[in-house]
C-alpha cells in the first residue's frame, strides 16, 4: 500500500487512467462478442453471399448491414459506407485506451520529475547534505509514480492491440460479406 500513499497528488490522474482503461476494456470485450458482431449462424452464409439464411436484426452488426441491404435500393456505395460506419462503431472508445497509453507514463514521468525536484531542493545550504525526510519522500514519489504509470500503460497497450486485431479480423469478414452483397446486387 505504500506505493499508493507515496504517489502524492499524481495518484488521482493515474487512478482515472486506470478506471478508464478497465471500463473501456470490459465494454469493448462485451460489445465485440461474436454474438454481437457476427453470430456463428450468420458467418458462413454472410461471407459466402447466401443471404436467404441471414436474418436482418438490430442485435448484431451483420444483421444491421443485411437490414440496410434489404431496405435500400441497389446502391453499392451506400452499402459500403454503411458497413464502414458499422466497423467504426466497433472501434468506439478505443481512442480512450490510446489516451491512457500515452497519458499514464507521462503522468508517471511528471511525478518522477517532481520527486527529483523535491530531492534536490532538500539539500541544506550549510552542510550540503539532503534532509533525510525530504530525500526519502522525493525518491518515493519519483519511483512510485513511474511504477504506477507503467503498470497502467503496459496492460492497456496489450489490450488495445488485442482489441484492434479483433476489430480488424471481424471487419475483414464483414468486408467479404459486403462485397458479396454488392456483387449480388450487380448480378
Asked if 127 and 40 touch (Cβ cutoff 8 Å), the reply is no
Asked if 119 and 54 count as a contact pair (C-beta separation under 8 A), the reply is no
Q: How far are the Cα atoms of 26, 92, 109, 147, 161 from residue 120, in angstroms, in the given order?
A: 42, 45, 16, 21, 39
Interior angle at CA 48, CA 43 and CA 54, nearest 5: 50
* pTM, rounded to two decimals: 0.83
119 CA to centre of own chain = 36
pLDDT for position 84: 94
What sign has the CA pseudo-torsion 87, 88, 92, 98? positive
pLDDT at 26: 96
Give the per-residue pLDDT at 187.
60
Q: pLDDT value at position 125?
A: 67
- Res 15: pLDDT: 94
Q: Name which of 110, 109, 132, 107 is nearest 122 in CA terms.
A: 132
DSSP letters of 50-63? -GGG----SSSHHH
Name the β-bridge partners of 130. 123
Residue boundaries of the structural domains of the chain? 2-186
Whole-number Å distance between alpha carbons of 54 and 57? 9
Q: Which residues of the chain have pLDDT under 70?
A: 1, 3-4, 47-55, 73-74, 124-125, 185-187
Amino acid at each position: 500500500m505504500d506505493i499508493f500513499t507515496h504517489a502524492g497528488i499524481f495518484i488521482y490522474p493515474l487512478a482515472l487512467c486506470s478506471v478508464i482503461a478497465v471500463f473501456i476494456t470490459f465494454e469493448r470485450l462485451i460489445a465485440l462478442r461474436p454474438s454481437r458482431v457476427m453470430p456463428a449462424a450468420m458467418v458462413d452464409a454472410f461471407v459466402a453471399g447466401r443471404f436467404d439464411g441471414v436474418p436482418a436484426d438490430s442485435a448484431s452488426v451483420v444483421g444491421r448491414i443485411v437490414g440496410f441491404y434489404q431496405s435500400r435500393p441497389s446502391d453499392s456505395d451506400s452499402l459500403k459506407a454503411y458497413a464502414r460506419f458499422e466497423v467504426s462503431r466497433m472501434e468506439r472508445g478505443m481512442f480512450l485506451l490510446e489516451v491512457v497509453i500515452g497519458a499514464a507514463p507521462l503522468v508517471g514521468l511528471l511525478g518522477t520529475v517532481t520527486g527529483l525536484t523535491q530531492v534536490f531542493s532538500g539539500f541544506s545550504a550549510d552542510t550540503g547534505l539532503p534532509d533525510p525526510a525530504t530525500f526519502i519522500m522525493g525518491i518515493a514519489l519519483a519511483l512510485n509514480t513511474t511504477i504506477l504509470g507503467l503498470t497502467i500503460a503496459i496492460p492497456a497497450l496489450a489490450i488495445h492491440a488485442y482489441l484492434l486485431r479483433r476489430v480488424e479480423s471481424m471487419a475483414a469478414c464483414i468486408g467479404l460479406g459486403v462485397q458479396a452483397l454488392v456483387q449480388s446486387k450487380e448480378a
